[in-house]
Amino acid sequence: MFSRKRIIAGTNTHKESQLTTSGRTEAVASYVQQRIWLHEQLYFQSSDLSVYNILVPIIIKKGSLSIERIRSIVLKLIEQHTVLRTAVRFNAQTNQIEQYIQAVTDSICSFKYSRGINTAEQLDRLLTNESVGKHFDIETGRVVNCHIIQQSNDENDEQLSEGDLIAITFHHIAFDNSSHKPLFEAFKKACWTVYHQQSVSSVPQYIDFALYEQAMLADTRMDSKMNRARHFWSNLMDGYDWNRIRQLMLGEAVTKQIRSGRGFSTTFSVNQYVVDRMMLYASSNNFTMFELSLACYYIFLFKLINDEDLCVAGNIANRFIQETKDMIGMFVNLAPYRMKMEPNKSFDDLVRKVQQLSTNIIEHGCLPYQHIINSYDQRGHQVLPSTLFHYESLVSSITQNNTLEATLSDGTVLGIYFDRDRSHGNGTALFDLSFTMTHDHHSRSTECFFDCSADIFQKQADVDLLANRFQHMLTQLFDSSMNDELIYNQLSMPISTLSLILPEEVEEMQEVIFRRLPTIVSEAPASYSQTRIWLDERIRFDPQKPKVAIYNMPFIYRLQSGHTLSIKQLHQALQLSIDKHLSLHTSLLFDADINRIIQRVITRQDNYAYMFSIIETTYETHEQLDEFLHDEKRNPHVFDLAQGLVFRCHIIYYKQISSNHLLSDKDIIIFNFHHVSFDYPSLNIFLHDLDQAYKTGQLLYDENTTLRYLDYSIIEQQMPMSGASMFWLDTLHDYHLDQSLPLPYDRYRLTNEHRTGHTTSVGFDFGLDLSHYFLIYASSNNIKHEHLALAIYFIFLFKLTNGEKDLCISMNINNRYRDELKSVIGLFENIIPLRCQLDPHSAFHQLAKNVHVATTNNMKYSYFPLQRILDQHPNLSKPAFLDREVFCEVKS
């Protein structure tokens, strides 16, 4: 297909290949054409929208133009520029994607007509449809669509008048944004009926560029342009993991290849003071606004997705030889801007790295994207970057086309119509996340656009939140309330100190109202805590060998000497208490239809005989009593979550069951609860109500207004947690949650090995003197006792692991963070990670202070469920930090 003379390796006298006119009508497609074709086939084949349309609307500013003449002008354009009638398709025989120039026929371009378009709303809707509609068939060369738009309703009016439009839409495979100017110049020429037309065969066409590109790639000289580019990109992309899941939207790890093409968009203007500060910083440090803006975007992504190895796609115009600068066609190369973030380095350091990266990429951006990512399987796996950054200087942007005009021989004036940038806000998204910054140097203003895939971002509010976070980050970097010295200090601080948590999110829990939900009767999704316990029993511990219960919670009581207790009154009091607290007769079942665990209140109308059980036994020896107590703790058959049996009362009489139905001081009462429905703070609520019910024979409460655990479960899953989500993502950045500590075990459990539930325990106390010093140190340094204990524990782990400095343990939190939750029986506890990055060279006092700050901050966001913390790390194999739990309780 190619001349051997053109592609053979040269000697020292080898000359660079030249772009010449070949006269060819068939050739292999350019790499850009191949990329567009493949991405449309692989990602957007089933979409009802087009993500590759480029709309060029031309308005009649003065005079008139006949519709027939417009048709001839457009067809003349297509004839002169063969890329506008070039088919691109896969050739199975040659196993490559090829381009074929088609003949000029009436069907090579679709012409449509709309009349009576009189309002701005009508026109906007029509132009938006043009920008996203599926008009093309690139396999037959139909890549141009012309829509003639008239204000007049007269169907016999064959003239376009002032204010009428010619909306020409191109498929991106044949047209890029740099083609606007040559297109308009060609359109002006075609409007003149008499001018010297160059023969198509006498000027280079886009197909000639594709041949030239192949010759450049075939140049094997070590110092050839493409080989230098290969060397650069090989070094830059070495070791990058394209298959790693990077969550742009927390909890939405979409791995499917097919995309809908639909998207959400938002736009905002950067605060004028911030823009002024950015421009001053850029000019003072010899940075471009592109480099500064890209650095800001890197930090935003770094904080958003918790990843230090970032890869952002950028568009390279790729018209690196003179002949292509005035050519219509698709030249834009996709360049992966890879940046390895250094969290402890300053913003200033980052911008300098971006500056160097940008310079290198501009120099080597000619290497096709497919070669950069080393993906040579053209029909198979073509990695599409998840995020794109685009910077536009309004001096050189598409909006400049608004000033382009053409005056015809009869005085008719044509111009580019521009009401808004239709590459944004049209309901489509090519990438998962695209960010565009447009900067106007003259007006000193910056406008930003986020375009996000609806396959990742579920609603418009998610995209608006991204915009708010980015603006908040810019404000931190270039705060209008700071003087020059403070801004300098801020830009010199580690980028890890920046936060995406919005001010209103810091107190997001204050807006939550826990109330009775009248529409919820007896069924709701299980809470996060219930789900964790339910799954723990079935997954973390061996479900096939339930020899030992791990979540029984027996509480043992004995009457004071000389006191008695009525069995009958106790039964009645228990029934009243159970009736009031629905969680004590609530079942948990997995609903396969909705893939969720559901809690359902068991009532007397259900088929089950009892909502709880009372059993009576006797003992004579302490050994027998110990056996009963041990059984209550370890027996896996005490409860049945599926039937709602989560509580039982076990009365153990001394020697014989009482004949007078009274308990004496030698008898034992065990109240046993399953942890899925009960936590330790619930005990005081239970005993209080049991005492009242026993003494008065009633429990006073309003069944219609009392807050239930069901209500909490539903409200919990509707609560705003975006602030907490960002906090935990930031707190656990770069920590490997699946990393086990090198503790001196006797044996190591296999990763797929179930737990037995068996434990070995040891207890000890500090002694009076050490306890006294402990309390004195805590009070004199204003540190909570539990925080001081945690600091000591971290030192212990540091020494035990032979110097492991980045430590993470789990903490069990009761999580009743609101007063209204303190009267509800149920499971509220959460498990949160507590991380300590220990500096062996710092003093203990500094460690204690750091632990105090970290624990205080963690507790502030402890309402964020463990499951959602783990969901932030989709590549996590096993949360090893859960193996290291600490529970601190201070008793006064």
714 touches 599 (CB < 8 A): no
In angstroms, the CA 213 to CA 323 distance is 13
User: Cα torsion at 780, 782, 785, 790 (round to 10°)?
Assistant: -110
What span, in angstroms and rounded, lies between the C-alpha atoms of 192 and 801? Answer: 83
pLDDT score of 3: 39
What integer pLDDT is reported at residue 194 of this predicted model?
A: 46
For 439, how many CA atoms within 13 A lie in the half-sphere containing its CB?
A: 21
Alpha-carbon gap, residue 634 to 628, rounded angstroms: 10
Kindly provide the b/e burial profile for residues 434-444, where b requires at least 16 CB atoms within 10 angstroms of the residue's own CB.
bbbbbbbeeee
Encoded amino acid at 803, one letter = G
- C-alpha torsion sign, points 683, 687, 693, 698: negative
Contact status, residue 99 vs residue 86, Cβ threshold 8 Å: yes
3-state secondary structure of 293: helix
The DSSP bridge partners found for residue 525 are 598
- Say if residues 348 and 382 touch (Cβ distance below 8 Å): no
If you ran DSSP here, which 8-state letter would residue 536 be given?
I
Neighbours of 591 (CB within 10 A): 13
DSSP letter for each residue of 416-438? E--SS-TTSSSSB-SSSEEEEEE
Q: Sketch out the chain's domains with CATH numbers.
A: 17-210 (3.30.559.10), 260-500 (3.30.559.30), 523-703 (3.30.559.10), 732-753+767-886 (3.30.559.30)
DSSP string covering 394-408, please? Answer: TTTSGGGGGG-EEE-
Q: How far apart are CA 70 and CA 191, in angstroms?
A: 8
Give the pLDDT confidence score for residue 379 in this predicted structure.
40
Give the C-alpha separation, 277 to 292, whole Å: 11
- Going from the C-alpha of 681 to that of each of 685, 688, 826, the distances in angstroms are 7, 12, 9
Q: Helix, strand, or coil here: 78?
A: helix
Instruction: Record the pTM.
Output: 0.83
Sequence-distant (6+) residues with CB within 8 A of 793 are 809, 886
- Rounded Cα distance between 144 and 183, Å, is 12
Residues 6 or more apart whose CB falls under 8 angstroms from that of 513 comprise 715
What residue ranges in 253-369 does DSSP mark as E strands?
263-269, 309-316, 333-340
d(CA 65, CA 163): 11
Which residues contact residue 456 at a Cβ distance below 8 angstroms, ignoring those fewer than 6 apart?
248, 249, 252, 254, 432, 433
Q: Identify whether the C-beta of residue 558 lies closer than 8 Å to the C-beta of residue 671.
A: no
- Mean pLDDT, consecutive 10-residue stretches, the chain (892 aa), reads 38 65 95 94 86 95 92 93 97 96 94 94 94 94 96 87 96 95 88 58 90 94 93 94 77 65 94 93 94 97 92 94 93 96 95 98 95 61 82 65 71 88 88 94 92 93 96 89 64 90 90 90 95 87 69 95 93 94 95 94 69 91 95 93 95 89 93 97 97 94 91 94 92 88 65 59 81 90 92 93 92 91 96 94 94 94 94 83 70 53
Task: Give the C-alpha separation, 65 to 71, whole Å.
Answer: 11
The pLDDT of residue 255 is 56
Extract the tokens encoding 631. 């059984």
- Give residues with Cβ within 8 angstroms of 223, minimum separation 6: none
Identify the CA nearest to 600 among candidates 642, 562, 537.
Answer: 642
CA 186 to chain centre: 44
pLDDT at 510 (0 to 100) = 84
